[in-house]
Structure 1
Amino acid sequence: MTCELQTQPGAAGAARQGSVWDYVSPSRLSLWAKCPLAWRLRYLDGVESPTTPSLFVGKLCHAGLEVFYRHRQRGVTLAAEDVRERLDTIWNEAIDQEGQPFANTEEAAKAKGLTQNLVRAYLDQLPADEPGPLAVEAVFEAPLVDPATGEDLGIPLLGIVDVVFDAAEGPVVVDFKTAASAAEPAEVVHEIQLGSYAYLLRRSLGRTESEVQIRSLVKTRQPRVLVHRYAARTEAHFARLFALLREYVDALDARRFNYRPGWTCASCDFRETHCRQWSG
């Protein structure tokens, strides 16, 4: 088992590329659970999706918080203005690397202001006694061994965890998300991700998380930050996760990737093109 901690900002985003048998990640498993055909188009056929303005804002919010917490990890607390200045540089670099996802300069300026305000709102609400980060944008990798049966699935799990805090009662695993509304997220929607991160933490560091959190940066007129707390993962959570993982591995073996119509089709990039052309 391994635990690799990236040392350069942004490095985790390109931590691993490889075939579908090299590893399984929470994002790969989640997409396959939503629609195996969409999974095949992205990970086997290599069909790329354009970066949307919303996705771009989310990535840049993550980048700004990564800068802040990497400094915290070294004992330096950046002022909000320092983070904003670094975010300006990261924004321009991202535009150069990924292209312009915005329709015009006015839309780009509005999105940049929103990103800055979201990150500022997050920094403004931080408690003074927040524990120090144990890991920031850390790449964890571990073999998939069922905790209940000892069965090795023969493929590793790889995940990039936003932040792990070293709290007195045990590590706290945190995932940052941007959201359009302040509605409470259904825990089951994020169960694959939260369970995967907890599994990786336990296998890699030999410690059990005290809780897992989703910290939502809400894109309301007045930006808000909501912290959703969930208890440490249970045997039942891992039993469900490994049941899904077995089905995933079986699908890879059988090369069985049917479409799975549902409410998520409304936001699928492949809906009007590849999916419509698919005939089984």
Structure 2
Amino acid sequence: MMQGRVLIVAGSDSGGGAGIQADIKAVTCLQGFAMTAITALTAQNTCGVHGVHPIPLDFIRQQIQVVVQDIGADCIKTGMLGDAPTIETVALALEEFAPDVPLVVDPVMVAKGGHPLLAQEAVTALKGRLIRRAALITPNLPEAESLVGRPIRTLADMEAAADDLLALGARAVLLKGGHLAAEERLMDLLITPDGVTRFESGRVATTSTHGTGCTLASAIAAGLAQGRDLTQAVARGRDYVLGAIRTAPGFGKGHGPLDHAHTVRPFDRL
């Protein structure tokens, strides 16, 4: 049964592997209801981002307004925002139309192929306007390095960065350790004022990792929207993403998309 309304504020990925497309697939395949406010259109495939077309700010605000005022939201997830004016617009709209709705911030800064998706001057705006009010932020290591201003190269560095990340104001941080290539196991840290919870899993040898960050943040948002506590939502989200990586279809010449629909049972059409 469909349960949990998730509003996703992010950019579109024409290749279907990341961004709004991945967000909708993840929420839907976890039996939530996905809604969107699109911040930018991208010409994108598994090899990289080839063009970005920003959406007018007043239209971003309008998308948020009409969706929340009619359908409502149980959780909001932000992804690619691009620049400080967009961040400010989104922050003001959320304050006006959804001030009490839990917010999951995926601080999207760099695409898988290395293309910058968040202008450097917007990092300060992201910290001050969205991260500060978030129920959870989900940075990978390069994003966390930008947020705390120092390298994070080891598991010990991740643990040492916990307090600084939490000091940014979010109620919780999921620090993702996928970039620690030297580590045989994949380690993520869920950081809250009550302490640090480790999530550990085996690595999957694959190039089909496009959109993993978007997918994980949206999967967690779906769990929160459905009434799961944070630890449960993170655990289910990680399991979902690992399953989607293991069953990835292998499309494209670069970093391929995940199998978001691996949770959907097949059926025969009459």
Q: Which has the higher contact order (CA 8 A, sep 6+)?
A: 1
For normalisation by structure 1, the TM-score amounts to 0.29
TM-score under structure 2 length normalisation:
0.29
Q: Which has more helix, going by share of residues?
A: 1
